[in-house]
Amino acid sequence: MLGRRHLAKAALVVSMLAPAMAWADDTDQAEKFISNLLQNLSAVVNGGKSVDAQKAAMRQIVYDAVDVDGVARFCLGRFWRTATPQQQKDYTEIFRNVMVSNITGKVGEYQGVSFVMGKGQARADEISVASTVNRPGNAPNKVDWLVANVGGKPKVIDVIAEGTSLRLTQRSDYGAFLARNNNDVQALIDALKKQAVATN
């Protein structure tokens, strides 16, 4: 009887891990996801539409393709656990606004951009998909897209440009700000709100 219980527990663990294990091996799915994302991004910035239309389209792409809330929690790091539920809600909302505004605010700078797809490589429960970004008048940039299975769908959880992780950089910046402000999460939220006003 004890042996059957152990077998049942083992089967349960395997069934829980199976989706993650399968995802980590499915580089083809991640590559197709990033390929579609890059095609959509290129179509937006090179489509000849108004800047407002480009911003709206880019905003939708970000919400569809990026795990914005997960990135927000990652960037706050250990301070997520010390924040109140209301602060977590306020921070996530303002982080989302700032992130999207920062991306869409630069949409005009990417006219003529093109992408060259690379290969995907499994990393634990994530897949890194390589690409090269070409912009007129600029040297090619190596950009890796870190993709994870979020709620059963592939989502971008980090962008690594020329070896620099954007979410790690952001978390470091937030950590430094909080260290200067008595680890006060509300101070960070208030600063982000001011940043959101400045970028809109």
pTM beyond 0.85: the answer is no
Q: pLDDT at position 3, please?
A: 42
Q: Is residue 4 part of a domain?
A: no
Q: pLDDT at position 199, please?
A: 65
Q: Is residue 15 part of a domain?
A: no
Residue 144 pLDDT grade (very low, low, confident, very high; cuts 50, 70, 90): very high
Q: Is residue 110 part of a domain?
A: yes
Summarize pLDDT for 38-64 with one digit per residue, the tens.
999 999 888 888 888 888 998 999 999
Structure tokens belonging to residue 68: 């914005």
Residue closest to 96 by CA, chosen among 71, 65, 61, 64? 71
Q: Is residue 94 part of a domain?
A: yes
Angle value at C-alpha 56, between 54 and 60, nearest 5 degrees: 115
Residue 125 pLDDT grade (very low, low, confident, very high; cuts 50, 70, 90): confident
- Domain of residue 172 covers 27-199
Burial annotation 75-87 (CB, 10 A radius, 16+ → b, else e): bbeebbeebeeeb
Q: Is residue 47 part of a domain?
A: yes
Summarize pLDDT for 86-100 with one digit per residue, the tens.
999 999 999 999 988
Q: Is residue 53 part of a domain?
A: yes
Could you give the number of structural domains in the chain? 1
Q: pLDDT at position 195, please?
A: 86
CATH of the domain at 81: 3.10.450.710
Q: Is residue 130 part of a domain?
A: yes
8 A C-beta contact, residue 148 and residue 48: no
Q: Is residue 87 part of a domain?
A: yes
